[in-house]
Amino acid sequence: MVGIIVKRYEHYNRSFKKWDSPKGRYISSRAEYEKAMKEEGLIPLEQAKVIAEKVQQEGREYPNKLSPKAMSLLRSVHKDKKGRIKLSDRQVDALKEVGAKVEMPDWLPKHYKEGGFSG
């Protein structure tokens, strides 16, 4: 794949803050572009690619900490269109086996703390 690189810096850029025209911030030179990038806290693409590569390598070094049983349990949980989750008896038993602990907050009424399942 061939990429086209344009070295012309005269343009309007809407990604920067403090626009000086209705079209966006006017950039006239490379120095002005680099200054605007520093003001916004942005980095060049080459630097971003190096950082992304480091993060991907670190991700490969540290595998997922959850057991395969816990991961399969998480994949089996689904929510309805309102975002509520309903667990089946098998899922609750699997949570107990995995070692999940459910603690209710102190501000709940007493009748909410009774019942449910304890790990």
Domain ranges of the chain: 11-61, 68-113
Question: Once rounded to an integer, what is the mean pLDDT over residues 81-102?
Answer: 84
- For residue 48, pLDDT over 50 is answered with yes
- For residue 107, pLDDT over 70 is answered with yes
Question: What is the per-residue pLDDT across 5-20, written as a single tens digit (0 to 9) for each?
Answer: 556 777 777 777 777 7
Bridge partner list, 110: none
Per the CB < 8 A criterion, the answer to whether 98 and 69 are in contact is yes
Question: Once rounded to an integer, what is the mean pLDDT over residues 62-84?
Answer: 82
Count of beta carbons in the 10 Å neighbourhood of residue 99: 9
Question: Once rounded to an integer, what is the mean pLDDT over residues 48-71?
Answer: 80
Distances in whole angstroms, Cα of residue 78 to Cα of each of 73, 74, 82, 84: 10, 9, 11, 9
